[in-house]
Structure 1
Amino acid sequence: MKIKGSTNIVGLIGHPVEHSFSPPMHNAAFDELGMDYAYVAFDVNPTDLQTAIEGAKSLNIKGFNVTIPHKIEVMKFLNEIDEVAGLIGAVNTIDFKNLKGYNTDGIGAVRAIEEVTSIKNKNVVVAGAGGASRAISFYLAKYGAESMAILNRNVEKAQGLAADVSQSGLIGEVKADSISEIRNYLKDADILVDTTPIGMHPNISDEPIAFAEDMDEDLVVFDAVYNPNETVLLKEAIKAGANPVYGIKMLLYQGAESFKIWTGRDAPVDVMEKALKDTLNLE
C-alpha cells in the first residue's frame, strides 16, 4: 500500500485504540482491491470528540468506525442516524458523505450466526444487557427471531433492554431474567448469544455462563468475545457437540459492512478474515 496525495482516509476513533485489529483488516481489503484508501486509528479523548468530527469533515476523511467510549456521545454531532442505529442508541460507523451514523455490530453478529443457521423463527437466548447485547438484540429481532430472552446479572437492566426491543415492533414480547436461570432457558433455545466479557483475555479461565450439560447438539452458540478465539463458553459448546460461532466472525462482518457503507463496494471477506487471523496468530 502506497500513500499518495489522492489517498482517501478512513479510520477508527476511540480511547484507547492502539490494540485495535481493524487497521490490518481494512488495509488488506483495500490492497486486495487496488483501492486508493488507507485505514488509520485515531486516539480521541472524550473532551475532543466534537472537534475531532468537525476536523475530520474539514480534512475530507471519508469514514470512521467508532469504539468505546464514543459510540453514544458521537450521535450528537451527526446529521442523520440510521433507523436501527437510532433504536440501538449507539453508532459504530460514520459515513462522511452525509455525516450519517450506522451501527454494524448487530449485522456483524447476525451474519456470523447465519453462516451456521437462519435466525428466522428461532428461539434465542441473549446473555448480557450492555451495549453489545443491545446492538445484537435489535438485529436478531429485525431478522425474524421467533422469541428472545435477555438474561443479565442485573435483572433490571435486562428488563429495560427487553422492553425496548419489544416496543420496537420488530418482535413480540421479550423475556428478561437473571443469568443464573440460564439452564432453564436453554432447554427450548435454538441459539445462545453471549455478549458478556466473561472469558475475555486475560481472564481466559473464567467460569462460563453455561456448561456442556446445559447444551445439546442442535444448539448454536455464539460468543462475541474474539480474544481468545476459543472462549471458555465455546469450549463447553464443542464438548457438548453444539455448533460454535466465533467472535472473530462478528468483527469480520461488522468491518465488511462498514467497508461497503464507505466505498459502495462489497468487501473481500476472505482477505479480511486472513488478515484478522494473522493478526491474532490463528491458523
Structure 2
Amino acid sequence: MESLYGVIGNPIAHSMSPLMHNDAFKANGIAGHYRPFLVKSEELEKAVEGLKALGVQGFNVTIPHKRAVMPLLDEVDSLAEAIGAVNTVIRKEDRFIGYNTDGMGFLRSLRESCPFPLDDKKVLIIGAGGAARAIFYSLAASGIQNIDICNRTPERGENIIKDCPFTCTSASLSLQQAEQGMEKYDIIVQTTSVGMYPDTNAMPVNVNRIKEGAFISDIIYNPLDTKIIKTFRRLGGQGDNGIGMFVHQGALAFELWTGIKPDTDRMRTIVQQQLGG
C-alpha cells in the first residue's frame, strides 16, 4: 500500500512539487504518492485534521498557509518557530511536526552555485518578507556573520534583525542606501517578486555599483534569468536563479519524510523541463 504525501495551498494547480516528489519516490523504490490539495484559508483547520485522519505521512505547505498552519500542528521545530513559518510537515506516530526547509534549501543551493566560499563574505538581502526572514536566519545559523537587509520599508528589516536568535552583524537599509553602498557586498540575495513574469523588465534596486566578481542569487525562476541577473553578468558579476532553492527545499523535505537523500540533479532536470528551460 502506498504512503500518501502532498502539498496544501491556494492556488495549487501550478505546483511542480508532485512531479518532483513522485519521480523521487519511484527512483528510490518507495511506495509513496504525492498529490496537491487545494485548501482555502477558512478550511485549513479541517484540512489538517483530515490529513491526519487519512494517515498522510507528510506534506508541504505553501501560500497562504505557512504561518497559519503553525498553531494547528502538534510541534514546531525551533528554526521554523524563529522564522515564523512552516513549509514541511512530517508525521511521527500520530503527531504532526512542522519544519521550515526554505532557508536551509537556499543555503544548500547557494553553496552549490556560488563560485567562492561563503565564509567571511558580506551579504545583502533584498526584501524583508517571509523568504527573506527564512534565508537570513538560515545564513546566520550557518555562521555567516555579515548580513544586511534592504527594503522599501527599513522597519521590516529591523524586525527581522531584532528577532534573529543567531549572532551576526547586520544593518537594515533603505533601497537608496543599499544602492549607494552596493560595492561592499560579495553576495546579493534577491527575495522580492520584482522581475517576475510578466513584469520582467523591472529590478528592485540599481546594481550598477556592484563589486567586480560579486554573485547574485535571485529566488525567482520565472523567468529563468531576471533582469537583475543579466545586469550582474553584464557588469562582471555572476548569478543564479531560484530553481536551486526550490529543488533543495524539496529534497530536504523528502529526506525528513523518508530518511533518504534524493538525487537533486534529477530533481533539477525535472523542474527545468517543466519550465521549458
TM-score (normalised: structure 1): 0.93
**Equivalent of 1:258, from 244, 250, 253?**
253
Aligned residue number for residue 190 of structure 1: 186
How far is 1:201 from its partner? 1.2
Consecutive unaligned residues in structure 2, runs of 5 or more = none
Does residue 1:147 correspond to 2:143, yes or no? no
In structure 2, do the counterparts of structure 1 residues 269 and 41 end up closer, same or farther at CA, with 3 Å as the change threshold? same
Checking the alignment, whether the CA contact within 8 Å between 2:7 and 2:60 is kept in structure 1 is yes
Q: After alignment, is 185-194 or 37-46 more displaced? A: 185-194
- Aligned positions of 1:76-155 closer than 5 A: 76-97=71-92, 98-115=95-112, 116=114, 117-155=116-154
Q: Deviations over 1:18-58 (max 9, x none)?
A: 11111111112112122211111101011111111111111
Q: After alignment, is 232-241 or 84-93 more displaced? A: 232-241
Checking the alignment, whether the CA contact within 8 Å between 1:132 and 1:195 is kept in structure 2 is yes
Secondary structure (helix, strand or coil) at the match of 1:230 reads coil
Does residue 1:179 correspond to 2:179, yes or no? no
Q: Which amino acid aligns with 1:111?
A: R
In structure 2, do the counterparts of structure 1 residues 265 and 178 end up closer, same or farther at CA, with 3 Å as the change threshold? same
How far is 1:210 from its partner? 3.1
Q: Matched residues in 2 for 1:130 and 1:118: separation?
A: 26
Q: After alignment, is 43-52 or 111-120 more displaced? A: 111-120
Q: Matched residues in 2 for 1:55 and 1:47: separation?
A: 14
**Equivalent of 1:68, from 63, 66, 71?**
63
Secondary structure (helix, strand or coil) at the match of 1:180 reads helix
Q: Which amino acid aligns with 2:276?
A: N
Q: Which amino acid aligns with 1:120?
A: D
- Aligned positions of 1:147-226 closer than 5 A: 147-165=146-164, 168=165, 170-211=166-207, 213-226=208-221
Does residue 1:59 correspond to 2:59, yes or no? no
Q: Matched residues in 2 for 1:114 and 1:129: separation?
A: 22
The Cα RMSD (Å) is 1.3
Q: Matched residues in 2 for 1:109 and 1:69: separation?
A: 20
Q: Which amino acid aligns with 1:177?
A: L
Q: Deviations over 1:197-233 (max 9, x none)?
A: 110111111135233x322332111001111110111
How many residues were matched structurally? Answer: 273
Secondary structure (helix, strand or coil) at the match of 2:89 reads strand
Dislocated runs of 4+, deviation >3 Å: none
Q: What fraction of aligned residue pairs are identical, expressed as a percent? A: 38
Q: Matched residues in 1 for 2:147 and 2:196: separation?
A: 24
Does residue 1:280 correspond to 2:259, yes or no? no
How far is 1:274 from its partner? 0.9
Checking the alignment, whether the CA contact within 8 Å between 2:185 and 2:211 is kept in structure 1 is no
Checking the alignment, whether the CA contact within 8 Å between 1:208 and 1:232 is kept in structure 2 is no
Q: Which amino acid aligns with 2:117?
A: S
Checking the alignment, whether the CA contact within 8 Å between 2:5 and 2:34 is kept in structure 1 is yes
Aligned residue number for residue 31 of structure 1: 26
Secondary structure (helix, strand or coil) at the match of 1:114 reads helix
Q: Matched residues in 1 for 2:174 and 2:16: separation?
A: 33
Checking the alignment, whether the CA contact within 8 Å between 2:9 and 2:37 is kept in structure 1 is yes
Q: Which amino acid aligns with 1:256?
A: A
Secondary structure (helix, strand or coil) at the match of 1:96 reads strand
Checking the alignment, whether the CA contact within 8 Å between 1:119 and 1:144 is kept in structure 2 is no
Q: Matched residues in 1 for 2:203 and 2:100: separation?
A: 30
Checking the alignment, whether the CA contact within 8 Å between 1:112 and 1:245 is kept in structure 2 is no
Checking the alignment, whether the CA contact within 8 Å between 1:126 and 1:149 is kept in structure 2 is yes
Q: Matched residues in 1 for 2:6 and 2:181: separation?
A: 40
